Amino acid sequence: MKEVIMEMERYADTNNIPIIEVDSIKFIMKYIKLNNVKKVLEIGSAIGYSAILMANATQNVEITTIEKDEKRYREAVKNINKCNLDKRIEVVYNDALEVNLAGHKYDLIFIDAAKGSYINFFEKFCHYLNPGGVIITDNLKFHGLVNNKASIKTKSLRGIVKRIEKYIEFLNNNKDYVTKFYDIGDGLSVSIKKNEGK
């Protein structure tokens, strides 16, 4: 298992795949443990790195993870099989915005796919949260660029940073959720639905 994880870190490094930072995944694993999370939905599997580590947080957590890139999807399935986690991790090969999850509910939704679509992901998938569930989002600092706009060289990067800022504003203004922002890894948010009737 440890071997496979180290192999994945090297693969990600060589192939420029933005896997989660160590401190961020530690934070999420701790959250899964402490809150007895049973069902996780991940948007953006890449090669399965974060899904495999989340599955290692406890013995009974189950993960559904969505990836739209075929090569990464295949790599994720391969890595999950190598870790013997295929019974607890299901990889869905599709664009998350096209997936229909009717009938399923999750305790934790981890948003970690296209940074420009965060609001769309939140608005779509918040309906799949169990009561007391949480939405965690990664890369709110976008490799430090959100706080250092002067250093951004291309128009497309500027566009992504703008949309991350919009997402942060969206979370802050969302009356149904309480969101806390953490300066961990590349920046994480934790959004918890307010109790109805309170």
Among 5, 9, 18, 157, binds ligand SAH (CB under 6 A): 18
Rounded to whole angstroms, how far apart are CA atoms 53 and 57?
7
3-state secondary structure of 174: coil
Question: Considering the rule CB under 6 A, would residue 116 count as an interface residue with ligand SAH?
Answer: no
User: For tokens 């090669």, what's the residue?
Assistant: 47
- Binding ligand SAH (rule: CB under 6 A), the pick from 27, 31, 49, 125 is 49
- Measure the CA–CA gap between 66 and 149, rounded to whole angstroms: 30
Task: Give the span between the Cα atoms of 178 and 190, in whole angstroms.
Answer: 8
Assign residue 144 a region: left if phi > 0, alpha if psi is -120 to 50, beta otherwise? left
Contacting range for ligand SAH; rule: CB under 6 A; set: 32-40, 106-114, 144-152, 163-171: 106-114
Instruction: Write the binding mask 60 to 79 for ligand SAH: x where contact by CB under 6 A, - elsewhere.
Output: ------xxxx--x-------
- 45 near Mg ion, judged by CB under 5 A: no
Partner from Mg ion, ligand SAH, none contacting 139, C-beta within 5 to 8 A by type: Mg ion
Q: Is 19 in the site for ligand SAH (CB under 6 A)?
A: yes
List the one residue from 96, 108, 164, 171 that touches ligand SAH (CB under 6 A): 96
State which residue has the least CB distance to ligand SAH: 44
Residue 46 interacting entry, from ligand SAH, Mg ion, none, C-beta within 5 to 8 Å by type:
ligand SAH
Where does this chain touch Mg ion (CB under 5 A) — which range of 68-76, 80-88, 109-117, 162-170?
Answer: 109-117
Measured CA to CA, the distance from residue 144 to residue 151 in angstroms comes to 10
Nearest distance from C-beta of residue 33 to Mg ion, angstroms: 20
Q: Is 107 exposed, middle or buried (0-12, 13-18, 19+ CB in 10 A)?
A: buried
Contact flag: residue 139 with Mg ion (CB under 5 A):
yes
Return the closest-CA partner of residue 39 out of 66, 67, 60: 60
CA-to-CA distance for 4 and 196, rounded, in angstroms? 43
Q: Which residue ranges make up the site for Mg ion (CB under 5 A)?
A: 20, 112, 138-139
